[in-house]
Chains A and B, each alone.
Chain A
Amino acid sequence: MTAVAAPPIVEMRDINVAFGGVHAVRDVTIDLKAGEVVGLVGGNGAGKSTLMRVLSGARPADSGEILVDGKPVSITNPRDAKFYNIETIYQTLALADNVDAPGNVFLGREITTRLGSLDDSSMESETRKVMGRLNPNFTRFKMPVRTLSGGQRQAVAIARAVYFNAKVMIMDEPTAALGPAETSQVRNLIRQLKGEGIGIFLISHDIHDVFDLSDRISVMYHGQIVDTVAKDSVTPDEIVSMIILGKRPDEATEKELEQLELHT
């Protein structure tokens, strides 16, 4: 939608990942522009999460190339990804349950005093600022995050990504565990971040979410990209048929489409 001519801020080329004999991701090429939301959809085991784990450094690719701002980079662990301002909000949230909110926001990137000790007051102060933006009602800064509600925990996980000036944000099922009010909060946040020029990969099972928020949609099937389409050029039904059949609508036979109709 926006910035059509701008170069992608991140590009993954010919990515391959295999677990033992299973080819989880096969020759996938995908890109993302600044201020763009790319929805990543597909059935269970289609390879969406694995592909994004490669970009976030959680699992290195077996082959392929990652480019940030057009330059090839090496991302072999989460620190590398964060160095390139690629932040991830995992489906599991990846919070240390026994640590408080500031501790989690700054985990691995603590603010320290000149002598290298943790500066808890500064971290709490910064966390209060960023949480004020995301969830103004949040007050439990001193409690272990295990005592927080699902929405509050989600806010902590998002605060962690937002605080460190993400350029690229990966959101893996950001609304899966949330109630309706919290879901709409997260949606607003995604629009806000997009408006700030952050590129977002959005993994979701919820076709509504994806259509509502994405500029482009990439459909994965058995580890491969079926197609990447501009949201305005497809209907939700067409996306669903691509997810289930693993073929572009024009490749699918009449019979397959008919069977699909029967199923849905």
Chain B
Amino acid sequence: MTNVADATPVPGQAQPPARTSLRDLIAQTEIDLRLFGMLIAFVLILITFNVISGGKFFSPNNMVTLAVQAAGIAIIATGMVLVIVSRNIDLSVGSLVGVIAMTYALLMTNILPDILGLPADFPFRWAIALAIGIALGAAIGALQGFIIAYIGVPSFIVTLGGLLSIRGIVWYLSSGAAVSGLDANFQLLGGGAQGSLGGPLTWALAVVGCIAIIALLISGRRQRRRFGFPVRPMWAEVLIGVVGCLIVVGVANFANNNFWPEGLADRVAAQQNWGPKPEGGWRIPAGLPNPLILLLGVTIVMTWLATRRRFGRYVYAYGGNPDAAELAGINTRREILKTYVLMGVLCALAAAIASARLNGATLDVGQSYELYVIAAAVVGGTSFAGGIGTIPGAVLGAFVLASLAYGLSFIGVNSPGQNVVAGIVLILAVGFDTLNRRRGTVGSSR
């Protein structure tokens, strides 16, 4: 993928020396080249489909739908990175999403009102259901993780067994029926016009995002100065800050150009007495959808866990050299167990999005998620050799695959055709990595 970045020509500077200096310039910004390349690939995909569809693809509405579709996969992929980095695999995520989604549905239609006696208008029912789902995910993850880490059964086998048996349990939970009718508040987790931040909050979040970017850059620089380490050149810091803030503001502005559907706006306006309808109808900005906010939070927390906490350091060290981690006195079994607990929690979050969008659960919620999640992590640069992979990379990987699938369906390619392309892209991405690693150009591991 670095090839994409390297090959980007600078206008009027086609000579070989300019090429090396471009490489140097990029190196000075200390940007992860692979991530940068993937970002460019993602943008190229969007542009390509936009051109093919005659400018219809790249609309706020389409992009928000794409983001919501990618969010669930991306959330689980952040955890899959850590599982694969530590030389394991988790094939059970799809079934886990299925069983937890069904649990949410049963909780809200059956268990909470009838057995626990919490009426439909009980406050924070959505949060109670979510907490129970997360606890269930963590428990199943802990059980699988225990068998893998402490008993030593290969993760492929344990989670393959999980894939089969947990999907079977979904059937028993609902006696084979689909269950529908979730809390209105819970449904907001799935996005949609009302399940979005709205205009003002989206702008507020953008401002917070920009402040965070600048604060991180300043504190990082100050920290390195304090210890007398080399720092990035000032122009690179400013460039990263400006580009980062522009992206944040651009995304917020884009999302705020996605307006509530007219029918919904009219209905809510009538309910809440917004007054007379303005000329040209209500223009209510929907803003960023809730699943995307959830993904943003998960990405930040998971990146923090992976890079700033002992847990992450140990997972990567174990993946790089299991013996070294063991001899360094790390309790490697406990760390492996934790990665599976984390997977259970992430599956519970993804299940919340999936069931909220469906307003219920069917028997096949989450089916084949494991494949898309693993593909996202791998396209995002996670290596099955262990020790290599990044969480932002996996999120971007999920978006690359989702944009391909959504774009292809948008221009009328059917689902088998989409699978053909997704499969080829998966192999190409890993092929690029393999070649790059052989040439030794991919240096960073985190």
B327 with A118: CB separation less than 8 A: no
A96 with B308: CB separation less than 8 A: no
B309 with A117: CB separation less than 8 A: yes
| SS of B interface (majority) | helix
As a 0/1 sequence over residues 318 to 353 of chain B, the CB contacts with chain A under 8 angstroms (1 = contact) are 111101111111100000000000000000000000
B327 with A110: CB separation less than 8 A: no
A121 with B329: CB separation less than 8 A: no
Per the bound structure, the CA–CA distance linking A227 and B220 in Å amounts to 58
A96 with B317: CB separation less than 8 A: yes
Q: Which of A111-135 contact B (CB under 8 A)?
A: 112, 116-118, 121-122, 124-125
Which of the segments B45-53, B157-165, B224-232 contacts the partner chain? B224-232
Chain B residues contacting A109 (CB-CB under 8 Å) are 328-329
User: Which of B227, B314, B387, B443 is in CB contact (< 8 Å) with A97?
Assistant: B387
Query: How many pairs, one residue from A and one from B, have CB atoms within 8 Å of each other in the complex?
Result: 94
Known: A107-B325, A118-B313. A124 touches B443 (CB 8 A): no
Q: Which residue of A lies closest to B226 (CB)?
A: A121
Q: Which residue of A lies closest to B330 (CB)?
A: A108
B203 within 8 A of A: no
Q: Which residue of B lies closest to A147 (CB)?
A: B443
In the complex, what's the smallest C-beta–C-beta distance from B236 to chain A, in angstroms?
A: 15
Known: A97-B320, A98-B387. A78 touches B326 (CB 8 A): yes
A143 within 8 A of B: yes
Q: Which residue of A lies closest to B324 (CB)?
A: A94
B323 with A94: CB separation less than 8 A: yes
Q: How many residues of B contact A (CB 8 A)?
A: 33
Q: Which residue of B lies closest to A126 (CB)?
A: B227
Chain B residues contacting A187 (CB-CB under 8 Å) are none
Q: Which of A82-112 contact B (CB under 8 A)?
A: 82, 88, 90, 92-99, 103-104, 107-110, 112
B387 with A125: CB separation less than 8 A: no
User: Which of B227, B307, B324, B446 is in CB contact (< 8 Å) with A124?
Assistant: B227
- Write 20 A-B pairs (CB below 8 A) sorted by A numbering: A78-B329, A93-B324, A94-B321, A94-B323, A94-B327, A94-B328, A95-B324, A97-B320, A98-B317, A99-B313, A103-B313, A107-B317, A107-B324, A108-B314, A108-B325, A108-B330, A116-B309, A117-B309, A118-B313, A124-B229
- Residues of B in contact with A (beta carbons under 8 Å apart): 223-224, 226-227, 229, 304, 307-310, 313-314, 316-321, 323-330, 387-388, 440, 443-446
- Residues of A in contact with B (beta carbons under 8 Å apart): 56-58, 77-79, 82, 88, 90, 92-99, 103-104, 107-110, 112, 116-118, 121-122, 124-125, 143-144, 147
Closest 3 CB pairs of A and B: A98-B320, A108-B328, A96-B317
